[in-house]
Amino acid sequence: MQNIRKILVPMDGSKNSMRGLDEAIYLARQCHATITGLYVIPLAKSVTDSQISSLEKYLLNNASKFMLKAKTRAAQNGILFDDDIIYGDEGPKIINYANNKSYDIIVIGSRGIGSIKETFLGSTSNYVLHKSKVPVLIVK
């Protein structure tokens, strides 16, 4: 537990991803670690700002609001929280992000929003659990 310094928390705006953050905050306090919240918008990124769709604007706005809430929650607990919003297929994007930035653990909620996909665990968290090279903690 002592060698955990960088925690990645994939988030999607759901209550479950906030529960994942709460667990990560607890872990970060024990280990004196930092947290990065990663919000993956399940769309291809527009090439230019003029091509940004109303759906993309809406999703980006929601992601930004949610990340601000997450950052505030972490700050209230004395935890340094970075956030990043990226675009693409959630599972592979989370895995690439975790590998490229060398995180010590991924803390992910068991299910997400679920309107597009039936459950988060079954799709995203299941994918992350099986493809990750770093330890994964799934929070129910």
Q: Does residue 28 belong to any structural domain of this protein? A: yes
Query: How crowded is the C-beta side of 127, counted as CA atoms within 13 Å?
Result: 14
DSSP 119: -
Q: Does residue 1 belong to any structural domain of this protein? A: no
What total of structural domains would you count in the chain? Answer: 1
Q: pLDDT digits over 46-79, tens only? A: 776 677 788 888 999 999 999 999 999 999 999 9
> In angstroms, how far is CA 13 from the centroid of its own chain?
9
Q: Does residue 34 belong to any structural domain of this protein? A: yes
Counts of helices then strands in the chain (DSSP H, E): 4, 5
Please, are residues 8 and 39 in contact by the beta-carbon 8 Å criterion? Answer: no
Instruction: Indicate the pTM of the whole model.
Output: 0.89
Domain of 104, in residue numbers: 6-139
Residue 133, domain CATH: 3.40.50.620
